Amino acid sequence: MRPESWPVLIRPTLTSQTIHITRTGGFDSYVLLLGGVVVTGLGTAIYVKGNLGAGPRDSFMLGLAYYLQGRVGLARNAMDIGVTLLGWLMGAPIGIGTLVFAVGLGPSIAFWFRLLRVSVRRRAGGRSLVGRRRAPVGHC
């Protein structure tokens, strides 16, 4: 079976140690993009709920959500939109996939956190996931 006849929507090609991705679908690509946002939100909620170790980006999201009274979606959107804007200001190209993930991942994570009952203030082995909230500097 030749690679051109494979029933895939994205066909990666290896040329001179560089991967080129050829877009071969229209509407199907957008369905997969939205599905990716949903599945990424679900995956984030599952490994945070299971205490499987949040990475630096998700740890920052949880810390920011703690200060926003548990609003995980707002915290993730602020992070992703801010980083996207910063990248654009530095000259990076912004495509539809970048925008969909930057705007859609926060609500997806918030939905799955609610559905799976993941708490931002949940304790893990006697320690808080995000640490104790401290008073701002200059306040007692």
pLDDT at 5: 47
Every domain of the chain and the residues it spans: 52-123
pLDDT at 136: 57
C-alpha closest to that of 103 among 34, 49, 51, 32: 34
Q: pLDDT tens track of the chain, all 140 residues?
A: 455 544 444 455 544 455 555 565 677 788 888 999 999 999 999 988 888 878 888 888 988 998 888 899 999 999 999 999 999 999 998 988 899 999 999 999 999 999 999 888 743 444 555 445 555 556 55
- pTM value? 0.68
pLDDT at 6: 45
Taken as a whole, the chain contains a residue count of: 140
Burial of 74 (0-12, 13-18, 19+ CB in 10 A): middle
